[in-house]
Structure 1
Amino acid sequence: MDIFAFPPIMAILDAAYGALTGLSALLEPFTGAAAAASAVILVTLFVRALLIPVGISQAKAEQSRAKLAPKLRALQKRHKKNPERLQRETMQLYKDENTSPLAGCLPVLAQAPVVGILYTLFLRTDIAGHPNELLTHDLFGASLGTSLVHMLTAGPFSLATLLVYAALIAIMIVVAEITRRVFRPTPVDDSPMSSPTMLRMMSALHYLTAVFAVFVPLAAGLYLTITVTWTLAQRVILRRRYPLPVSAG
């Protein structure tokens, strides 16, 4: 069964296809062959602008969690022999302070549908029964509908695709390294989340976007690159507006 033939999903894809092709047509006199890529960039910036309030809420929640660190350490010491009690008390503390340990997941979840739609639009040869003209567009000679993994494993080989992907992945890795260094998690004594293994795993997660990008069409990879760059810039600005306590820095 083709899930994309399901009428509601087909309607969403067709509407997104019409909007993106229409935007590409408007941009073509200014950007030429890169019109579709430019449209993807504008869509990305629009989505990120819509999510600015979410980013502000995230920064506030991060500030609140940092302020809670001493109380969390006290709970760890008081209930370290009773994990169930510790979990209940920890969640109650977050509830009392009107924050959540999972607040940082919201921007990722909010963007998932957009990434999914872009992935599908630049993957399928037809959308709602008509040919997918988006697949004819490229960025500096690299097809927007080709993933790096597909190009390397199934061909045909394209030097342009390799170079464009290399540039995007390099940007994502640099952004991930800056993010890892600047926004280190606040350790909590005796917490499993503060163990060396867990901290290494959390650091590695910063590079997950770059790994994921090699498997998706170039258009989705472009979206991810702009997203992580925007996110870093936004977090730097909001950290200045909502600084963490000195002891948590």
Structure 2
Amino acid sequence: MSVFVHLVEWFADLLEPLFHASAAAAAIVLFTALVRLLVHPLSRAAARGQKARAALQPRIAELRRKHARNPERLQQAVLELHTKEQVSPLSGCLPSLLQLPAFFLLYYVFSRSTIGGETNDLLTHRLFDAPLGDSWTDALADGGMFGGAGLVYLGLFAVVTAVATFGYRLSKRMMASNPSMAAAADDLPGAGAAGAVNAVTKVMPFMSFFTLVTVAVVPLAAALYVVTSTAWSAVERAVLYR
């Protein structure tokens, strides 16, 4: 844990000539970008997997007609088809799952006053007037919505709303222009993991808006990670699924 603290501090020292008092915040954005770069090959693989699943839809439609009266046989046949074509219905979940440790690490570090028995100096850093270890409720208590820290959060909320709107429109446009990609959400009937993927896919256009809640309740440092990662995802999807 202390290694991560020193890494963020090193990044902050590196960026201090450009960002001054907000260097630690810039370091978190840089850290997030590095994490996303590491995960990017999996994101590319997930995009290829979704396109491959979309390409299988005519064959899956034929299986639905053939096994219309036998849902269990239909599910088995679809799974066999995915196995034969080496297409995983869960591949799209991997990029998000692998980012969770980095998010929770930031959350832990910026919600502890001491790390490894030493004072956590990262909590003294700020983004403009907002301490990186505080949340939106702290900003409201210290100056209100239009105080210095409150304005920082209003800026973050504006960015998240803009990114979420872009992501929503992108998802709707993708579904409209490629119905087979939308149908890929339904290629595994039944409950369990397949049902979970199905449900997540259907609410995906709205999920970016949930980021507003996350940004409001977590420490500002973790919120910066979420905002940066969400913006990266929106741009990445626009490029990979064009």
Do the structures match in fold with TM over 0.5? yes
Which among 102, 112, 134 is matched to residue 124 of structure 1?
Answer: 112
Q: How does 1:62-211 map to 2 (within 5 A)?
A: 62-152=50-140, 155-158=141-144, 159-184=147-172, 185=175, 186-188=181-183, 191=186, 201-211=203-213
* Identity fraction in percent: 36
- Cα gap change, 1:207 to 1:73, in 2 (>3 Å): farther
- Cα gap change, 1:199 to 1:57, in 2 (>3 Å): closer
- Cα gap change, 1:15 to 1:96, in 2 (>3 Å): same
Equivalent residue, structure 1, for 2:192: none
**Cα distance in 1 for residues equivalent to 2:52 and 2:7:** 40
- Output the amino acid matched with 1:137: H
How far 1:151 moved relative to its partner? 4.4
- Cα gap change, 1:127 to 1:201, in 2 (>3 Å): same
Deviations 1:84-112 (A, max 9, x none): 22222222222112112222111111110
Equivalent residue, structure 2, for 1:18: 6
**1:73–1:189 Cα contact (<8 Å) kept:** no
Q: Which runs of 5+ in 1 are unaligned?
A: 1-12, 241-249
Count of residue correspondences: 223
**Cα distance in 1 for residues equivalent to 2:52 and 2:202:** 24
**1:36–1:137 Cα contact (<8 Å) kept:** yes
Equivalent residue, structure 2, for 1:215: 217
Q: Which runs of 5+ in 2 are unaligned?
A: 176-180, 190-194
**TM-score, normalization: structure 2?**
0.82
**TM-score, normalization: structure 1?**
0.80
**Cα distance in 1 for residues equivalent to 2:153 and 2:70:** 49
Runs (4+) off by over 6 Å:
197-200
